[in-house]
Structure 1
Amino acid sequence: MSFGLVARAAGMFAVTNIDDILILALFFAQVRHRPRGVAIVVLGQYVGFAAILAAAVIGALGAGLLPESVLPYLGLLPMILGIRAGWKAWRERHDAADGDSPVGERSDVGILTVAAVTLANGGDNIGVYVPVFANSGTSAMVVYLVVFLALVAVWCAAGRFFATRPPVARALARWGHVLLPVVLIAIGMLILIEGGAFGL
């Protein structure tokens, strides 16, 4: 197992899930008085993220049916998602100051609630992971999956930590909207360049 591959997988997970920390913090804040509240959020996060990975693996295997010369052009997908995320962040740049959240008002947080929000919030992740998985060998894809699943636990721990530190959560919400589009576009460009798309 290459350290470089592990580091790349960890970096990709971090930048594509940075907004999840805020959502996890909101969930943990809501279940803090429940006996098994932490377990509910952690299990729900794993269920939701496992669904994201399953969809990405299926998509990558389907992409494997494409001619090899076409695969680098899948890098256009994260680029498009990055441009869309940047446009959305620009249009809704004042929303973070309002403190609105799709889960902020929920009083009955369960495993399926957390899983559903995780899956819905991670829909764009699938578009990023598919081309990366498709351009990786089987062993590299397994490394990505293992690292991603291990980091879900780290993300849960970070979410619980931030749940009691609102100023940190607000800062993350503010800068996460700026960082995510930039990184998505960079990932797409990296796939295009490494694959020699458009003669790059």
Structure 2
Amino acid sequence: MNLGIVGQAAGLFAVTNIDDILVLSLFFAQGARHPRSARRIVLGQYLGFVAILAVAVAAAFGATFLPESAIPYLGLLPLALGLKAAWQAWKHRDDEVDEQQTTEGGGPKALEVAAVTFANGGDNIGVYVPVFATAGVGGMSVYLIVFLVLVAVWCFAGRYFATRPLIAKALSRWGHLLLPLVLIAIGLLILIEGGAFGL
């Protein structure tokens, strides 16, 4: 395996996914008191990222599932999820939070995490396609392996940050407000940068 390509793949992944660590930390904080939520978050992150890679690989071979003009509208996914999370936070604003309370099915759902990951990575597709197309099948395989390994590293980093005492305390106190704000901001940024709705 060419170490130069591995380094390039790692660098490309880091540059195009740095914002995912913040989102993952918020998801992990949201699911902190819910058994198995970490598993759902990791599954969702992988589902979303594999979908990004599938579209990028297909486009590198000449297939187009999403017209370029449709990519900005992916911002509607995190925007909708952010508005839903904001509504939930508003609805439960006066509820007493029991620190010991745990619920089996609580916390982020895998498909919600996947939707945010895919939408947030819509612009990554535009970066990955020319890289994959010029790397050839062998080089593309290295990129895919490195990317999939680094998704696990990103999940670990997100969980690590969410469980540091100082950060965990802040996220526990403010995470229910931060998550909707971050999702709404991501959604609006995708829509505005892509010129959706003539923005």
In the superposition, the TM-score normalised over structure 2's length comes to: 0.62
* Paired position in structure 1 for 2:7: 7
List per-residue Cα deviations over 1:87-136 (Å, max 9, x = no partner): xxxxxxxxxxxxxx938646751010000000010000000000100111
| RMSD between aligned residues | 3.0
Q: Runs (4+) of structure 1 moved beyond 6 Å?
A: none
* Paired position in structure 1 for 2:137: 138
* Paired position in structure 1 for 2:157: 158
The aligned amino acid for 2:12 is M
* Paired position in structure 1 for 2:82: 102
TM superposition shift of 1:137: 1.1
1:49 aligns with 2:49: yes
* Paired position in structure 1 for 2:40: 40
* Paired position in structure 2 for 1:149: 148
In the superposition, the TM-score normalised over structure 1's length comes to: 0.62
Q: How does 1:68-79 map to 2 (within 5 A)?
A: none
The aligned amino acid for 1:2 is N
List per-residue Cα deviations over 1:150-177 (Å, max 9, x = no partner): 000000000001113539x99xx9xxxx
Q: How does 1:108-119 map to 2 (within 5 A)?
A: 108-119=107-118
Identity %: 61
* Paired position in structure 2 for 1:84: none
The aligned amino acid for 1:102 is G
List alignment gaps of at least 5 residues for structure 2. 69-80, 89-105, 172-177, 183-199
The aligned amino acid for 1:14 is A
Indicate if the aligned counterparts of 2:37 and 2:107 stay in contact, CA closer than 8 A: no
